[in-house]
Amino acid sequence: SGDLQPLVAAELGGVWSSDCDGCLIGSSFDPNVGAGTYSVAYIIDDVCVDTDQVQIIVEPQADASINLPNWVCLALEGLQPGVAWPGGVWTANCNGCLSDIGTIDLMQAGIGVLDITYTVEGLCGDSQTVAMEVLGCDVETVNVFSPNDDLLNDELVFKYLTSFPGNQLNVYDRWGNLIYQKRNYGNNWRADGVAEGTYFYVLTIPGKDTLTGSFTLVR
């Protein structure tokens, strides 16, 4: 994509033609026709007829868009940004926190605002910088849980837990029987078939202290 490109001939009075629809506007070539190789001819049809032809190559416009959240919790797990156009170069305002393929080492980055730049080089290159805040989140515990389909507190939620993959949740009844266990718990347990009462949990989080406590289940 880009601005119209004027076509210049050695002699005036000829006619321009091409093998692409809509790519010629007067005596200019419109690169917005899209990426590809196009033939453009110039014909002088006078007493002496002359024709010349050139090929015009339109390179695709790179897109350096980065897909990252506005903030993340400081965690052991690396974070891999999403990109629309692979093969670019990554840089950031931190030392040793970013790999060649863009994986972010959050522990190395530390708490603060991280500016990440992705650059696709070349004639039709592109570059984008995004800011992402790294927070020192502590997982927040829960003491009441009411899965009654009122869309309020229907699931057992530990705030910020989803930022810590590799976690494991164990839930026990008052007699110490394990009633629920989930690795990589996603804050989505609704306690189906479980009676009201007090229950106890053990929440293991990689790189953090194990959380233990109790919550009351009401319906």
Q: What is the pTM of this model?
A: 0.62
Asked whether the predicted pLDDT for residue 3 surpasses 90, the reply is no
Sign of CA dihedral 202, 204, 210, 216: negative
Give the mean model confidence (pLDDT) for residues 9-15. Answer: 89
β-strand partners of 214: 200
pLDDT at 2 over 90: no
Poorest-pLDDT segment among 1-5, 62-66, 171-175:
1-5
Count CB-CB contacts under 10 A for residue 104. Answer: 23
Residue of 127, 101, 129, 100 lying closest to 114 (CA atoms): 129
What gap in Å lies between CA 165 and CA 217, rounded to an integer? 25
Q: Mean per-residue pLDDT for 83-93?
A: 95
Question: Which is it for the CA torsion 25, 29, 30, 33, positive or negative?
Answer: positive
pLDDT in tens, 157-197: 999 998 888 999 999 999 999 999 999 999 999 999 999 99
Whether the per-residue pLDDT at 10 is higher than 90: the answer is no
Report how far residue 65's alpha carbon sits from residue 119's, in angstroms, rounded to the nearest whole number.
9
Closest CA to 62 of 127, 130, 129, 2: 127
Amino acid identity of 13? G
What single letter denotes the amino acid at residue 195? A
CB 130 within 8 A of CB 72: no
pLDDT of residue 1: 61
Report pLDDT digits (tens) over 47-62.
788 999 999 999 888 9
Q: Does pLDDT of 198 surpass 90? A: yes
Strand pairing class (126-135; 71-73):
parallel
- CATH number for the 144-217 domain, one of 2.30.30, 2.60.40, 1.10.3470, 1.10.540? 2.60.40
Rounded distance, CA 148 to CA 157, Å?
A: 15
Question: Average pLDDT of the chain?
Answer: 93
Beta strands 15-18 and 36-45: pairing type? antiparallel
Rounded to the nearest 10 degrees, how much is the dihedral formed by the CA atoms of 147, 151, 156, 160? 180
